[in-house]
Amino acid sequence: MVMALVEEIAVVVSVVVVGVLLGEKVVVVVIAIVVVVVVVVVVVVVVSVMFRRSSSITISSNSSNCNSSRISSSNSSSSSSSSRVVIVVLVVVVVVVVVIVVVVVVIVVIVVVVVVVVVVIVVVVIVVVVVVIVVMVVVVVVVVVVVAVVIVVVVVVIVVSVVVVVLVVNNRSINSSTCSNRRRSSSSSR
């Protein structure tokens, strides 16, 4: 009677410990990923707003006079600065993605190791098949959820970076086309 009660208490304690450990890890991963995504989105929005303002200024200056040396120098400086900003944004995005993937992989490995150790202890102390099955199912679910979250975050970051690059390229093409059109119209009028 006493041994049966001890076995039941051990099973309950092991299940609770595993649940608390896994829940804590999942909550930490989700919070970290949400914070990183928010920071990346804010940075991308700020950079896109800066690009739009610089492109509008460049287009207006091009429409006023495209052949002046001052405007061409300002265009070259703005294009070089925009290219530098694009490179910096892409590097930051890549670093953030790599850090997220590494952190998530490390957390998943820690969770799996902890769960395996708990399962081994439970199997050595008390042979309970149900507890082993439950723990393995929980491990599989946690790993799948973490991997899915990592995939979603990586895809979102890549899409945002591609959108930023496309916006910058479109702004440059608009500036170059405006300048070429002004030059053609001026040459034809002459």
Tell which wins on pLDDT, 160 or 1: 160
Lowest mean pLDDT among 36-40, 59-63, 163-167, 171-175: 59-63
For position 146, what pLDDT does the model report? 73
For position 174, what pLDDT does the model report? 56
Provide mean pLDDT across the span 130-145: 70
Which amino acid is residue 18, in one-letter code? Answer: V
The Cα–Cα gap between 160 and 158 comes to: 5
* pLDDT of residue 72 exceeding 60: no
Phi and psi (nearest 5°) for 128? -125, 110
Q: Which helix (H) or strand (E) holds 21?
A: helix 2-64
For position 2, what pLDDT does the model report? 58
Q: What are the domain boundaries of the chain?
A: 14-48+83-189
For position 147, what pLDDT does the model report? 72
* pLDDT of residue 65 exceeding 60: no
Lowest mean pLDDT among 133-142, 147-156, 176-185: 176-185
Tell me which DSSP letter residue 64 carries: H
The Cα–Cα gap between 133 and 74 comes to: 67
- Structural tokens at position 55: 């492109």
Tell which wins on pLDDT, 58 or 116: 116
Mean pLDDT of the chain: 64
Count of residues in the chain: 190
For position 44, what pLDDT does the model report? 66
pLDDT band, very low/low/confident/very high, at 79 (cuts 50, 70, 90):
low
Share of the chain above pLDDT 70, in %: 27
Question: Which residues, in sequence order, are CB contacts of 111 under 8 Å at separation 6+?
Answer: 21, 22, 25, 139, 142, 143
* pLDDT of residue 153 exceeding 50: yes
Read off the pLDDT of residues 91-118 as tens digits, 9 standing for 90 and up. 777 777 777 777 777 777 777 777 777 6
